[in-house]
Amino acid sequence: MVLEPDMPPAVARSSPAAPTHPAVPGRAGSRARMADAADRPRARRRSGWTRLQLATHAAALAPAAHLAWDVWTDNLTANPIQDITARTGKTALVLLVAALAVTPLNTLFGWRRLIPLRRPLGVYAFLYALQHFLTFVWLDYGLDPVLLEEAIFEKKYALVGFGAFLILLPLAATSTAGWMRRLGKRWKRLHRLVYVAAVLVVVHFVWLVKADVREPLAYGAVVAALLALRVPRVREAVARRRLGSASRRTARGTPPPPPR
Ligand code: HEM
């Protein structure tokens, strides 16, 4: 799942290392060489993962590694299936929210370096959701269709969870650059459904906790804020404020913050 409705497919594809300057003799040529030298570290970074990307992959894989370790060392709770279900569900939600936060954080603070993290975060969210779903249908219900039908259609929290999972499936399947190209504008519309999935997951969480709903409601508040930041008017107001403070800084002679 790419979860980047803003990004046109052409931008999303990694750009090939095209020659940036023609071989120009004289001053223009030396300026071009200097610019090339300044670009070199960036080009190197483009060929591999940045430290931020590495840290993101490590952080996203850590809960799976921790869970695998706990399964291996027999360190789960007295109800291991419930433990696995809760841990994978929580991680899926956290990663889903993190993926949704990328665009608003870029809008608010100009953190463009986060943009390439959106796709992996979305894909990891789906993989944990898949693990969560498989734990439920396989380990918990032994793939018994009758029991599963009862469980999913009689427990409303399971039904909305199932709805969220059904939305995440096609998003994950169409997360590749090839599908972005093939679907064109429809791709963006399809991937907006990720917000519906996030809302359903929050409802799923609210409905399954019995007493203290503070935690699921906190996730709900974050998802609502992220959704609000997608509203064009809110986004424009935020962008205007950012531009305003940048021009005030320039007028005062304060250098802008370093590019992130
Ligand atoms: C058919 C689909 C789903 C079913 C049947 C299902 C089932 C469950 C069950 C039984 C629990 C309770 C675990 C416990 O006893 O603590 C749970 C918790 C949870 N699920 Fe799902 N789930 C589904 C889909 C999803 C999806 C797609 C997500 C997220 C992307 C998700 C996120 C969560 C979260 C955040 C919790 C709470 C974890 C906690 O207690 O800390 N679920 N789910």
Using a 6 Å cutoff on CB, does residue 161 contact ligand 1?
Answer: yes
Treating both helix axes as pointing N-terminal to C-terminal, what angle do 80-109 and 118-134 enclose, rounded to 10 degrees? 160
Cβ within 8 Å of residue 217, ≥6 positions away: 206
Which of 77, 90, 132, 203 is the best mutation target for the ligand 1 pocket, counting ligand atoms within 8 Å of the beta carbon and taking the most?
Answer: 132
Query: What CA–CA distance (Å, rounded) separates 217 from 212?
Result: 10
Average pLDDT, the chain: 84
**Nearest alpha carbon to residue 173 among 223, 127, 121, 114:** 127
- pLDDT score recorded for residue 45: 54
Task: Decide if 161 contacts 204 (C-beta within 8 A).
Answer: yes
**Nearest alpha carbon to residue 52 among 113, 128, 110, 122:** 113
- pLDDT score recorded for residue 35: 42
Give 36's pLDDT tier (boundaries 50, 70, 90). very low
What global pTM score does this model have? 0.82
Using a 6 Å cutoff on CB, does residue 60 contact ligand 1?
Answer: no
Which of 205, 206, 209 is the best mutation target for the ligand 1 pocket, counting ligand atoms within 8 Å of the beta carbon and taking the most?
Answer: 205
Average pLDDT (246-251) is 76
Closest atom of ligand 1 to 209 CA is 40
Using a 6 Å cutoff on CB, does residue 92 contact ligand 1?
Answer: yes
Using a 6 Å cutoff on CB, does residue 93 contact ligand 1?
Answer: yes
Query: What CA–CA distance (Å, rounded) separates 9 from 12?
Result: 5
Closest atom of ligand 1 to 90 CA is 35
